[in-house]
Each structure stands twice: as C-alpha cells, then as structure tokens.
Amino acid sequence: MSKRDGSHQDEQQDIKSQIAEKEVSRREFLQKTALLGLTAAVPGSLFGLGTAMAADESAAGAEVQKKITGRVRVRELGIKIGRFNPGKWNAITDVPGVKVGYTTLISGEGQLVEGRGPVRTGVTVILPHDGNLRADPLFAAPHVLNGNGEMTGLAWVVESGLLTSPIGITNTHSVGVVRDALIEYDVKNGNIKQGTPWSLPVVAETYDGGLSDINGFHVKPEHVWQALESASDGVIAEGNVGGGTGMVCHGFKGGTGTSSRVLPESQGGWTVGVLVQANYGSKELLRVDGVPVGMELVQKEKGTAFTGEVPAEMGSIIIIVATNAPVIPTQCRRLAQRAGLGVARMGGTGGNGSGDIFLAFSTANRSIESANPAVPSSVKMLSHNAMSPLFEAVIEATEEAILNAMCKAETMTGANGKTVTALPLDDLVDIMKQYKRL
C-alpha cells in the first residue's frame, strides 16, 4: 500500500470519528466527504440535506471571475443544473410559437400612500401560439402543490383539458383587472366571434405587497394590452420585470425567470420550456444544485453556526411549463406535477401560506376543436413510457428558471423604505467552489 493510500484511509477514519463524536460542522463534513468519496456512504438526511446532482465534468474545473459585474444568469456563473442541454435561448420561448410580453410598473419612493405608491408591480403575458386560442386551443392541465393562491379559468382547463386563452401573471389584487382586460382584448379583436361566445382566461398571481402599493390597483387594462402587443420570442427579460417586479424569493429579490431543456434525438428531441414568477421560500432552506447555499449565507450574515430554526414559508410561485412534445391533458398534468420537484430541489416546501400553482401545455396538437362536430379530430400522443425524460427536463428547467429569476433580479427598495437585497453572486460562486461544484 502506498503512502498516499495509507494517508487517504487515515483521513477517512478521522472524518468518521469526528462524525460519531459530533465534532465536525456541516460544511466540513460535506466538503471532506465529497473529496474522499464518502458522500454515497453517509446519507444527506443525516444533516437534513437533499441529494445533490453532480456537475458536468467539463464544468468541474471552470474558473469564475471573483468579482461578478452586474446581474447575470446562473450559467454565466459556471453553474450547470442537471444533465440535459438548454435550447438556443434557454427560455420558454425555445418552444416554437411561444411568446412572452411584459409591462413593468416602477414609480415613487418612501412612505406607502394607498393609491399613490410606491409602485413595484406589473403584468406578464404568455402567448402559447400566434393564432386565436379560443378557436384553436391547446391541450393543457394544472397541478396545485399548495392552494393558498389563485389561477383563474382552471375549472374549464381541468374539465376540458384545453387552454383557450393567453396566460396572465400579476400581483394578487390585480388578477381581476388582468382577467377582464384579456376578455376585452378578445372582444375588440373579434376573437370572441371566431370561437365560443364567452371567455375564461387563465390569470395567476403572487403577492408583492411588501414592496408595492398592492391596494392601490395600479395595474390597468392598458398595461395588459401593452404586454400582449409587445410579446416576443427569443431572449426575454428576467428578474424585476412584469408580474415579477416586486417579488421576493428565498429571502432575496425574486421575480421572473425562465429556462429550457432539449431532449436528445434518441429521446424524441422535444423541447421543454419553463417560466416562473418566484415569490416563495425561506433563506435558510435555499439550495443550489443540492448545495445548502442558504444555510451558508445565514451563517455568514450572523457570524454563528446555523441553528436549524427556519421561519414559516410564505409567498407563492407560479410555474408555466410549455412543450412541443405531443402530449395529451393527462400527460400535461404529469408534467405540471414535476415542476413541484424543481421547487423542492431549491428548498421550497409548499408551506401553508404559499400559493404554488402550475400549468403545463403542449403546442403539438392543433385544430383539436373541429368546425364540424360530426368529424373526429386527429390527435398524436407519446407513449407513457416516453414521459420520464420529459419529467426530468421539467425538473431541471424549473430549478434553473428560479435561479435565473434570483440571479438576474436586482436589489430593490420599495414601500416604507423596505429593501430586499439581491442574491450575492460572489458569495454564491464561493460557496459552490467550497462544495466542489465549480
């Protein structure tokens, strides 16, 4: 046995002894076991930690600039989530036909005066295709992780399996305005006449009352129309934009984020895109690629060891999943469910005060509603046996979309001078290096 091998075994025995005597910190344990190959032998549940997915070998030795300039997406930091590749834009707009539009409302500062501000809010719209969704709906289905929130129109989506409107996302007290504006837009553009004579739009919310004058009702119909008419594909904004403008995620500035995954051709080559409005979570539970980033940041802020005490989770997250895979409503529901696993990987628990509502739709089947009710529509669908890679793609894209929302969001000061700081990217990189993820 070489001197190196003997030293290696001695170090292993030393670490095991320290664990038994509870004389090693979480950080030391995780770092040393990762280096010595003991991670698999000692379950992460010992310290209440989730299982981490290993980073791609090509990124393992990547050097990241010490001081990050500006706000960047998580991949620009060298952090890669999962094993599938993103699409060209790494966004929900990688799914052909999908467009996203925003109206962002930021005005005023200082003390809150209802009806005047400060205002830190907006509206996001997602157009699943360029046509009239009322006349040419898409297969869709929702999933509710915790229902302390709202997404209108779900009763018909569940009943019919169809998405018949653009999707709006805003703040909690503006849902009605956005819903009515989507109907008015359809009426004025003649879309009602081309489809059924009524409209049941899908509009979701998260609460931005900590930073914004939420009871001032600053989102107006014209803001919804602006978002609709400015919707585009390709690169889309993230962070403090649209409905995500005033949101907080895991104790840091949150907001709007997006990501995508493209399956290998051997698994169909399908694209999955995710957009989130992230406004949930406790700082202490924040994880990035399995690394307990929140615990490390809390310890750094307080200068003491993490005690394990975690505040009750409040807030919400809305997740929209799009795909061009030919899936039917029951399969859309299964995709929507998997978004919850992406939230869990980030450290979300779906707490009692959280509204965690997800919707998945497929752009693959068109002309589902035949003009002649006597003529059946033709539908394509994947085998259920082909769904597992799509599940994984949803989980990966959800986790990365949340991270992009946090990494791109900037520190914001809102009502009554409340300031929510942005996730410190330099610290994030340092922690990921400590845990051998960079």
C-alpha to C-alpha distance for 139 and 130, rounded to whole angstroms: 16
Q: In degrees rounded to 5, what are phi and psi of residue 69? A: -95, 120
Residue of 107, 356, 362, 430 marked active site: 356
C-alpha to C-alpha distance for 74 and 72, rounded to whole angstroms: 6
Residue of 199, 316, 377, 388 marked active site: 316
**SS3 assignment, position 156:** helix
Active site residue 362: no
Give the residues across from 305 on adjacent strands: none
Distances (CA, A) of 7 to 11, 15, 27, 39, 265: 6, 12, 22, 19, 46
C-alpha to C-alpha distance for 47 and 44, rounded to whole angstroms: 6
Task: Give CA 406 to chain center in angstroms.
Answer: 10
Maximum alpha-carbon separation in the chain: 83
Q: Which two tokens stand for residue 57?
A: 């070998």
229 within 8 A of 266, measured Cβ to Cβ: no
C-alpha to C-alpha distance for 154 and 322, rounded to whole angstroms: 16
Sign of the dihedral defined by the CA atoms of residues 42, 59, 428, 276, in that order: negative
Give the residues across from 314 on adjacent strands: 353
Q: Look at strands 119-127 and 167-171 and give their pairing.
A: antiparallel
**SS3 assignment, position 288:** strand
Q: How many CB atoms lie within 10 A of CB 263?
A: 20
Active site residue 259: no
Give the residues across from 275 on adjacent strands: 258, 320
Residue of 5, 354, 383, 430 marked active site: 354
Active site residue 377: no
Question: Active-site residue numbers?
Answer: 316, 354, 356
